A and B are shown apart, each in its own frame.
Chain A
Amino acid sequence: MRTQGITTPRARSGMERMEQRWGLLLGLPAMLGFIIFTIGPMVASGWISLTDWNIYGDASFVGLDNYREMLTEDPLFFKSLWVTLYYTFASVPLLLLVAFAAALLLNADVRGKAIFRTIFYLPVLVPLIANTILWTWLFNPDFGLFNTSLEQLGLPTSMWLYDERTVIPSLILMAVWGFGNATVIFLAGLQGVPAHLYEAVEVDGGGLLDKLRHVTIPMMTPTIFFNLVLGMIGSFQAFAEAYAMTNGGPNNASLFYVFYLYRTAFTESRMGYASALSWVLFLVILLFTVLIFRSARSWVYYEGNNAS
């Protein structure tokens, strides 16, 4: 289904040269920015990761010592990695599922669509600081809205953020509350699904589920992919929840990797070790992203795609 163009070989080679030139030119700001604000600091931090720099005084070169310590002597490294993976792989699919369901509902021919859409989006707009304060309060076992309501209904209560077993599920609940962003993106994707495809299913006598399976989901794969990548990256970098709500507790049960990294750098001033931590995180995220992009080739469908 690709459009490969209708040009002659000679014109094509001229166009190739032009595209080459313009591609580099227009991509230049992004590439320059990337070199200055990402690669430069990354290389610097890579170098710092090979030292014992503790912010004051001189750093001495320690080779791969920081990495060795991380892998052999630091239980918190594995703990924080596990916490982050647990949070990511539980919250992202759940959030996407809720967001997709909400988008399907909104895509139905209902009145007040704009109002519902705005309502679902509101949580995304609450400033992070206000959000964490609000939810800490909602979760409070003794005074919070959740437990007080559960108690009034005669239901069992929870310790929410203050129990090792429930802290991450509680934070997942809070994360899922912000499903509106993914919903809006899904909704946009849904509006782009051509109506004639649904008609085709109807002609063939298919019902709602058939439409979903054979039209909606395949046509939505780029959107699902987009939301998946976005959600993964976001939750791998979860930080504010630990920073402002749990301080990584109880007993490190919510010690998100980036929070651990931040604490190592800024509470303990161990810049060398923190830089090593950030490089490892980068590699972990890179690994998962490569896996997702690889897998995308077999399940994501682009209509206008001409890249192979």
Chain B
Amino acid sequence: MTSLRTGGGIVVPLGRSGRHRVRRLAGRISIYLLLIIGSVVTLLPFAWLIRSSLMGPAQIFSFPIEWIPDPVRWDNYPEALTAVPFDRYFLNTMRIEVLVILGTLITSTMSAFAFARLRWRGRNLVFGILLSGLMLPYAATLIPTFILWQKLGGLGTIAPLVVPAWFGGGIFNIFLLRQFFMTIPRDLDEAAYLDGATPFGVLVKIILPLSKPALIVVTIFTFISVWNDFLGPLIYLGNESQYTLAIGLRSFSSAYTAQWDQLMAASTAVVLPIVVLFFLAQRYFVEGITLTGIKG
């Protein structure tokens, strides 16, 4: 139904050589210029965060604005990070991360495969219904879900934060993986089926090896959302010894309304692990979101 439209029939006369090269050069310069402007604009609030994390309380609010900390107060970091047990919050967060990511990877690939590559009655209907769940505001089901966990005895444990990940791993991830799987040519599957493979075998032997980048994307998205989740841990976790970093940061921000330097230091420290993770994985990350997949 949709066919690829190429630029057939359009003939634009082009001056060759010299003029062409000048235009190319101008193009490249303007690309760099735009990229640099974009980066500066993007980094500005971020620079503001870091600059503030290294200043004394008085300098933060100086007018006219000062950008260079003087003196540089590295002490803000140890002071902020020892004021509340951030190390424990970190371990708590990582425990949830590992369990959630594992559950998500296993169950979301299964489901996405079923929706992307197997034909079964009711598939589109079921997928449509699942997608509608994505539109559901979190607040709408908060109370009934909480009551459910109370009946199951899960309050005060990490179960409410972890278990749902083992049931499909989130509709968003299924959607993402499905989009990815759909772009892998079906010939590969069909050839495997002719050789007697089961769908599970196809998933494990053909689809998954081709999907490493997509799995990395799911991992990173899941990691970030767990890292930033606030309302869930607040409601379900019983006491401070179970707190995650997001709540820890929030505690810190309500407790230290006057110490903006330290609040900024703590915030920076909470961002940092994610930035590092992203930096390490970013090549796969972009590759992974490549929705159009492998090409023939």
Contacts and interface: CB of A to CB of B under 8 A. Distances in A.
Interface of A: 1, 3, 5-7, 15-16, 18-27, 29-34, 36-38, 40-42, 44-45, 48, 102, 105-106, 108, 110, 114, 116-130, 133-135, 137-138, 143, 145, 148-149, 152, 177, 180, 184-185, 187-189, 191-194, 197, 200-201, 204-208, 210-211, 213-215, 218-219, 222-223, 226, 230, 233, 236-237, 239, 258, 261-262, 265, 271, 274-275, 278-279, 281-282, 285-286, 289, 293, 297, 300-307
Contacts of B34: 105
Interface string B91-127: 0000000000000000110110111001111011010
A302 B135 contact: no
A20 B114 CA distance: 9
A300 B1 CA distance: 10
A205 B12 contact: yes
B232 to A, nearest CB: 12
B74 interface: no
B4 A22 contact: no
Interface of B: 1-14, 27-28, 31-32, 34-35, 38-39, 42-46, 48-49, 61, 63-65, 107-108, 110-111, 113-115, 118-121, 123-124, 126, 128-145, 147-148, 164, 166-169, 171-172, 174, 176, 179, 182-187, 190, 193-194, 198-200, 203, 224, 227-228, 230, 246, 249-250, 253, 263-264, 267, 270-271, 274-275, 278-279, 282-283, 285-293, 295
A192 B287 CA distance: 9
Contacts of A1: 3-4
B7 A210 contact: yes
B6 A265 contact: no
A130 B34 CA distance: 28
A19 B199 contact: yes
Given A119-B39, A127-B228, A184 B11 contact: no
Contacts of A106: 35
Contact of B31 (A110, A185, A258): A110
* Nearest 10 A/B pairs, CB to CB: A33-B167, A192-B292, A30-B168, A278-B140, A23-B120, A130-B267, A188-B289, A41-B141, A41-B144, A30-B111
B120 A24 contact: yes
A264 to B, nearest CB: 10
Contacts of B32: 110
Contacts of A189: 289-292
A29 B271 contact: no
B137 A261 contact: yes
B287 to A, nearest CB: 7
Majority secondary structure of chain B interface residues (helix, strand, loop or mixed): helix
A206 B108 CA distance: 42
A149 B12 CA distance: 46
B65 A40 contact: no
B17 to A, nearest CB: 16
Contact of B10 (A18, A177, A204, A222): A204
Nearest to A119: B39
Given A22-B199, A127-B227, 7 more contacts: A18-B199, A118-B278, A120-B38, A127-B267, A134-B267, A192-B290, A215-B7
A301 to B, nearest CB: 4
B65 A148 contact: yes
Contact of A281 (B61, B123, B134, B140): B140
Contacts of A110: 28, 31-32, 35
Given A127-B267, A127-B270, A301 B2 contact: yes
A19 B120 contact: yes
B119 A23 contact: yes
Contact of A26 (B114, B147, B228): B114
B31 A108 contact: yes
A105 B31 contact: yes
B211 to A, nearest CB: 13
B35 A44 contact: no
B75 to A, nearest CB: 20
A233 B170 CA distance: 14
Which of B107, B128, B144, B279 has the largest number of chain A CB atoms within 10 A?
B144
Contacts of A45: 140-141, 143-144
